[in-house]
A and B are shown apart, each in its own frame.
Chain A
């Protein structure tokens, strides 16, 4: 891989993606053996937004590879004292880290930082733009369960408007030859999303027809009190994935969710906890392997 940073799926070639996925599977097989190849490397997790699984996943991945991982807590950082984003980045850069892993609630922040620092930058989620490592781990999950990605019908369901996971997945799945559709209330549909190469469905039952994979997105509660959607109850009734609606998809369709899930809102517990259909915990597991693979590529 030639890339210095992992900022967007758009920057990755199909070859890059294949390499990342293949290497991740290798890491998956020998997870227990700690490699000490990167003992002299430093990784800083710079998370401006709350996160459990992504932060932990990156931390574990870095440590499994023997690198030193520092988690910057924004709550106690100089940002709180009024330091600008760029100044914080420059300060950290002066300490000469090898990788900066950035999450921010504003789209484009990882790009901005990557132009200012000397080290590699990994985008761990920026605003409503992208979450490339999530898409990569989703692709690996699909590949391991369906043996292929090309030709699959994948539905992305829920709050597409605000979702960086949706965007990264649309780019990635399209690159790998899947057919992507989005299903959401019209108020949560980004304008002209068809231009990204997806089909649009407003109705869940219609949208699930002939689908192999359903990626359910998280919807934030504050968006369901009348602004975008009238109520949680109505969202669940029309766009929440339950057993009955799932029956509209292919018989062996599998369900994914980037987490954390809102039970009884975007997904029914009955479906979320069905080990025959739900890949939710598998996604978390593969997340560590994908991040090891990416860190390994960048540190090599």
Chain B
């Protein structure tokens, strides 16, 4: 394969404070050179030259929360579909959740996922492992051996570790291996029987609600435990201003905490459930407009560190059920950029912010070797037509599942090219590459 030159692009790389025109040379899977503000001619015989005029080039997106359903629920998603879907969305690294069947709570399961990734995926897929054996919230998994096997972090996925002593020990134990614990922000006893936000609407629909307090109570407890143990914690799917306030105050106190949210929490609200639409059932639930706006503001004010897709594929039969019985979650790869960029643009923020939220910060949070265009680092790159307005449609989905709540919602930004380890894994066909 010839070396690739991406020429004449608008390069945005917050890790090096770069936001200017330039070219990138890719050689042997890595970023070989980064040339800014200069027009250099390259020999066509030695290089595949791609003219990126008016396109933004940045490090590939890093999605630290997605459900790939492998192993065990391959009827909902598999690594090959997920990889194509992610590549088309500009995501070069995925971090998958351990709530599979069997559960990823031991070394052989982490190795199984990695073996499958090597065979089936073009994008990088990293596995987490569960904090507790069988996700039961009682006994710790082998953090050290799991890290050696390749697990990048620990989480009980869609449920929080509810026993405070177990969580405290997990935080302490993880510190021996400098590993991050990631927690679902819902206090179990307050949330376990609910399936939407608690409020006037849940009353009208006759559905048991989950109060906002379920989120902040879990977050507050874990912040105290993290502070006490000097451990590192990340909260997924923050949906309320209550929890945000707690996290912001804790950060000021020096607690090692980061948090993320997902596009559904700043593009949808409980009203989108309309008449028991299960496609708008997610966990934690969609909140009211006030909270949705608080999440938007928090993203813009740097109170939320990164955005994840929370890609949660479900087959039709898991959604075509009474609301309270339906599975929670939406698919999220293809909508990640358009919905995030729309927010950035509406609020007139720079594209640097976009790259921080989708690439640099998630990389840093899990200490992955990505999120940057520094020389000698892996050539994980995405090229975006940043000004293109698009209409989201399930017809564009490459995931195996179709639980997509954004039909006909407008978004912004189109992925033109995605490169992983120097290899083109997605090309929207406007580039003719030999």
Chain A interface residues (CB < 8 Å from chain B): 185-187, 189, 202-203, 225-231, 233-234, 237-238
Contact = CB atoms under 8 A, between A and B. Distances in A.
A24 to B, nearest CB: 38
Interface string B125-163: 000000011000011111111000000000000000000
Nearest to B143: A230
Given A187-B169, A226-B132, A226-B133, A231 B176 contact: no
Majority SS of interface residues in chain B? helix
Contacts of A230: 133, 139-143, 173
A230 B142 CA distance: 5
Contact of B142 (A189, A202, A228, A233): A233
A233 to B, nearest CB: 7
A237 B176 contact: no
10 contacts: A186-B172, A186-B175, A187-B172, A187-B173, A203-B176, A229-B173, A230-B143, A233-B145, A234-B143, A234-B144
B139 A226 contact: yes
A40 to B, nearest CB: 53
Given A225-B139, A227-B169, A230-B139, A202 B145 contact: no
A226 B138 contact: yes
Given A202-B176, A228-B169, A233-B145, 8 more contacts: A185-B173, A186-B173, A186-B229, A230-B142, A230-B173, A231-B142, A237-B145, A238-B176
A226 B176 contact: no
A238 B177 CA distance: 10
Nearest to A202: B176
Contacts of B133: 226, 230
Contacts of B138: 226
Majority SS of interface residues in chain A? loop
Contacts of B176: 185-186, 202-203, 238
Contacts of A231: 142
A231 B145 CA distance: 10
B157 to A, nearest CB: 18
Contacts of B145: 233-234, 237
Contact of B140 (A189, A203, A226, A237): A226
A237 B145 CA distance: 8
A187 B176 CA distance: 9
Contacts, number: 47
B66 to A, nearest CB: 26
Nearest to B170: A187
Contacts of B139: 225-227, 230
Contacts of A185: 172-173, 176
Looking at A202, A225, A229, A230, the one whose CB has the most chain B CB atoms below 10 A away is A230
A26 B395 CA distance: 91
A87 B142 CA distance: 47
A190 to B, nearest CB: 12
A202 B144 contact: no
A229 B173 CA distance: 8
Contacts of A233: 142, 145
Nearest to B166: A227
A186 B231 CA distance: 11
A33 to B, nearest CB: 52
Contacts of A226: 132-133, 138-141
A243 to B, nearest CB: 19
Contacts of A186: 172-173, 175-176, 229
A116 B139 CA distance: 42
A175 B172 CA distance: 30
A234 B129 CA distance: 15
A186 B172 CA distance: 5
Looking at B133, B144, B175, B229, the one whose CB has the most chain A CB atoms below 10 A away is B144
A159 to B, nearest CB: 14
A227 B169 CA distance: 8
A233 B144 CA distance: 10
Contacts of B140: 187, 226-227, 229-230
Nearest to B138: A226
Contacts of B132: 226
A228 B169 CA distance: 7
B80 to A, nearest CB: 33
A198 B172 CA distance: 19
Nearest to B132: A226
In the A-B complex, list the 10 residue pairs whose CB atoms are closest, starting with the nearest.
A226-B139, A186-B172, A234-B142, A230-B142, A202-B176, A230-B140, A187-B169, A187-B173, A238-B144, A187-B172
A72 to B, nearest CB: 36
A231 B144 CA distance: 10
Nearest to B173: A187
Contacts of A202: 175-176
B350 to A, nearest CB: 41
Nearest to A191: B228
Looking at B143, B175, B176, the one whose CB has the most chain A CB atoms below 10 A away is B176
Contacts of A238: 144, 176
B160 to A, nearest CB: 18
Interface in B168-191: 169, 172-173, 175-176
A225 B140 CA distance: 8
A100 B409 CA distance: 83
Nearest to B168: A187
A227 B132 CA distance: 10
B145 to A, nearest CB: 5
A186 B36 CA distance: 47
Contacts of B169: 187, 227-228
A252 B279 CA distance: 68
A226 B141 CA distance: 7
